[in-house]
Amino acid sequence: MRIVVPVKSVPDLVEEIELTADETGIDREYLTFVLSEWDAQALEEALLLKDAGGAQVVAVGLADDPEIDQILYTALAKGADAAVKIADASVAGLSGPRVIRTADRAALLAGYLADQPADLVVTGVQAADDLDGQLPATLAALLDLPHVSVAVSVVAAGGSVTVRQEFAAGRSHELQVQLPAVIGVQSARQAPRYAPITRIRQAQQAGGLTEVAVSPRAAGAGLVVRRMHRPEAGGHAEMLTGSAGNVADQIVGLLRARGLVKG
Amino acid sequence: MNDEVSSNVMVLAEHTGMQVSEGTYELIGKARELASALGGVTEVVLLGRRAVAARLDGADIVVSVEHPALEEYLPEAYEQALLEVLAQRSPRLLLMSNATIGLDLGAALSVRWDAPLAGYVSALEIDGGAVMATAKILGGKVLAEVELPGERGIVTVLGGAFSAAAGQLASTPEVVDVTPPAGLDALRMSLRQVFEADGGDVDISSADMLVSVGRGIESQDNMEIVLELAGALGVPLSASRPVVDAGWLPKTRQVGQSGLKVKPKVYLAFGISGAPEHLEGMRNAELIIACNTDPGAPIFGVAHCGTTVDLFDLVPELVDKIRG
Ligand SMILES: Cc1cc2nc3c(=O)[nH]c(=O)nc-3n(C[C@H](O)[C@H](O)[C@H](O)COP(=O)(O)OP(=O)(O)OC[C@H]3O[C@@H](n4cnc5c(N)ncnc54)[C@H](O)[C@@H]3O)c2cc1C
């Protein structure tokens, strides 16, 4: 089974997000980028499928994504069999400060998958910078493949996979999905494995990244971004300041006033 | 097939058996407002359970498709049925939840119905005939104001963004039946089993106060300090999704979109950023007190009181003072 795992980087949300001067995009230049957390879960689920019954796992990113080399070498160090970068110069408007639209990303990946078909595509259910929809369903629609999102378990079963799909309040469905298919992973069956730094270095030295050019599928109608801005700082929260002891006194005072702490 | 675009606003009803989700009513209420601005009416798509129509009284029209494959939610079956409904009814806008069903179908319909999609939407209005949406992206740290150009569009909406009361009216909608498309008999997936939620040791949704912990706690070992605080207060410990995914607390303690909705008198949040999916589960708490070292954390947008003191300094102090 050939499993393709599209991966991408997103701004590290621990930092303040810088916007472009015209306020229609995020300014990639001043941000730290990390692997999208849901892609990390998808990669883990793919590696679990490989561990269970043998599969070839291929991590795929766009050459224009920040930190993509590091992300792909880490995937190799964790056990991916191959790592591919899609050269995206062929699509106008992709580079520069703006986030790549999910529709454009899907169009490139669909082009790649048309050349190099997969039995199974697993990727993150969403990414923090999605705006025009999520990758799994967009990609599946372009390729006319069955798809399931918000998966919390994917297990191989002959020419199909058994997928657990999660809903609110802990309800879930078990689905049988024919391959080829696209699955959007919410969380893997176990926490993503750790890649020792020495293994990442080995992968880097071995230089196992392949770069490919593809002809993208046509991307759908897009949104017009009028403006991006940060929500009002602090919103309506009253900030409690002082030492930890001071702040604790104030919080305990609030709880006492409501009769939730005695004394 | 109907080539003429109507001015109607369509909502996909989400229901578990006969139970209609709260989010469906939130969408219907908003759809009514948008439809009146556009000069159209509100249509609600109801798949697999025609009898639920009686509970969709905020709709002007209920569009029903009946087929065995639609009895429970099944992604491919819903997608096929919706494409058929969209082709026949040509609404101006389709509204869906930004939860599992919207994440599953929204983007696929955007490609296949050829309409722009705005996701993670928290505000929506018609401005001079144009559809304008505000999306919460980057974990709620950025708001994007977008226009959906063209003659039709799809919007997936965050839970709790609009009022559910506005979608619950005493009226009797007209029910229009749409013949199920042939594709429903040749699906590439099937439903094998439905799992209901496990009952937990404690019901966090009925607690007066919750101590809630997020990824800021960093490790399982550190859970000890928040457990101690919850113990000192005599209240349950709840958590954001990553803490549950890591296996540090059971699923029954998860607050948010894919966990439980809670409305305690006090919600104490430690190391929780306030992603939209988390806020959905706790924003209606009477008093929200948030501790987060990042002054820009979106949790402060819903908290009544906040502090940027480190949780590892604050929590032990709280334990000491409560134990007295
Ligand atoms: C379909 C779907 C459903 C989802 N359902 C849910 C759900 O039900 N519930 C849910 O919670 N999430 C849900 N999520 C996930 C959600 O998108 C976020 O990823 C999640 O809520 C983030 O959890 P967090 O705030 O604990 O972690 P993070 O976003 O990583 O935030 C950790 C915070 O801790 C702060 N911090 C770090 N160190 C300290 C310290 N020493 N002291 C104080 N603060 C500190 C940081 O500043 C940061 O803001 C869902 C996602 C999807 C796609």
Q: Provide the CATH number for the domain around residue A26.
A: 3.40.50.620
With a CB cutoff of 8 Å and minimum separation 6, the contacts of B63 are B10, B43, B44, B45, B46, B85, B89, B176, B178
Note whether B115 contacts A129, CB cutoff 8 Å: no
Residues B235-265 have pLDDT tens digits of: 999 999 999 999 999 999 999 999 999 999 9
| pLDDT (0 to 100) of residue B153 | 97
Is A39 in a helix, a strand, or coil?
A: helix
- Structural domain count, chain A: 1
Residue A151 counted as domain residue: yes
Mutation to test the B interface, candidates A239, A241, A249, A256, most B Cβ within 10 Å: A239
Q: Which of B75, B132, B197 sits opposite A171 (nearest CB)?
A: B197
Residue A225 counted as domain residue: no
Residue A221 counted as domain residue: no
Which has the closest alpha carbon to B266: B209, B183, B198, B203? B209
Of B151, B185, B219, the residue at which a domain comes to its end is B185
| pLDDT (0 to 100) of residue B172 | 87
Q: Which residues of A196-207 are buried (b: 16+ CB within 10 A; e: fewer)?
A: eeebbeebbeee
The confidence band for A98, taking pLDDT boundaries of 50, 70 and 90, is low
Residues A54-71 have pLDDT tens digits of: 899 999 999 989 999 999
| DSSP per-residue string spanning A109-138 | HHHHHHHS--SEEEEES--TT--S--HHHH
User: Is residue A142 within 8 Å of A107, Cβ to Cβ?
Assistant: yes
E strands, A90-220, are 120-124, 147-157, 160-166, 172-178, 181-185, 209-213
| pLDDT (0 to 100) of residue B276 | 96
Cα distance between residue A155 and residue A48, in whole Å: 9
| pLDDT (0 to 100) of residue A38 | 98
Do B153 and B225 belong together in one domain?
no
Supply the pTM of this predicted model.
Answer: 0.96
Residue B191 counted as domain residue: no
Average pLDDT over residues B295-304: 95
- Kindly report which listed range (A184-198, A216-230, B137-151) carries the lowest average pLDDT score: A216-230
**CATH code of the domain containing B84:** 3.40.50.620
Average pLDDT over residues A243-250: 98
Residues B174-208 have pLDDT tens digits of: 999 999 999 999 999 999 999 998 777 789 999 99
| pLDDT (0 to 100) of residue A95 | 42
Do B169 and B212 belong together in one domain?
no
| pLDDT (0 to 100) of residue A92 | 45
With a CB cutoff of 8 Å and minimum separation 6, the contacts of B191 are A173, A174, A175, B72, B74
Residue B198 counted as domain residue: no
What percent of the residues of chain B are helix, what percent strand, and what percent coil, each to the nearest 5?
35, 30, 35
Residues B53-63 have pLDDT tens digits of: 999 989 999 99
> Which domain covers residue A129, as residue numbers?
2-214
Question: Which chain B residue has the Cα nearest residue A104?
Answer: B111
Do B151 and B215 belong together in one domain?
no
For chains A and B, CB pairs below 8 A equal 292
Query: Ligand 1 within 6 A of B156 CB?
Result: no
Q: Which atom of ligand 1 is nearest to the CA of B291?
A: 43
Cα distance between residue B24 and residue B13, in whole Å: 5
DSSP B223: H
Note whether A220 contacts B252, CB cutoff 8 Å: no
Q: How far is the CA of B216 from the centre of ligand 1 (A)?
A: 8
Note whether B298 contacts A231, CB cutoff 8 Å: yes
Contact residues on chain B for A226, CB-CB shorter than 8 A:
132, 145-147
Tell me the percentage of chain A whose pLDDT exceeds 70: 94
Q: Which residues of A87-106 are buried (b: 16+ CB within 10 A; e: fewer)?
A: ebeebeebeebebbbbbbbb
The confidence band for A100, taking pLDDT boundaries of 50, 70 and 90, is confident
Top pLDDT among B259 and A30 is at: B259
> Which domain covers residue B318, as residue numbers?
204-323
Q: Which of A178, A226, A235 sits opposite B188 (nearest CB)?
A: A178
pLDDT greater than 50 at residue B17: yes
Which has the closest alpha carbon to B266: A252, A123, A37? A252
Residue B195 counted as domain residue: no
pLDDT greater than 60 at residue A154: yes
Note whether A150 contacts B195, CB cutoff 8 Å: no
- Structural domain count, chain B: 2
Do B15 and B151 belong together in one domain?
yes
Note whether A221 contacts B149, CB cutoff 8 Å: yes
E strands, B74-137, are 93-97, 117-127, 130-137
Question: Which chain B residue has the Cα nearest residue A16?
Answer: B296
The confidence band for B227, taking pLDDT boundaries of 50, 70 and 90, is very high
- Kindly report which listed range (A132-146, A218-232, B290-304) carries the lowest average pLDDT score: A218-232
* ipTM reported for the complex, 2 dp: 0.95
Query: Ligand 1 within 6 A of B242 CB?
Result: yes
Contact residues on chain B for A148, CB-CB shorter than 8 A:
75, 104, 189
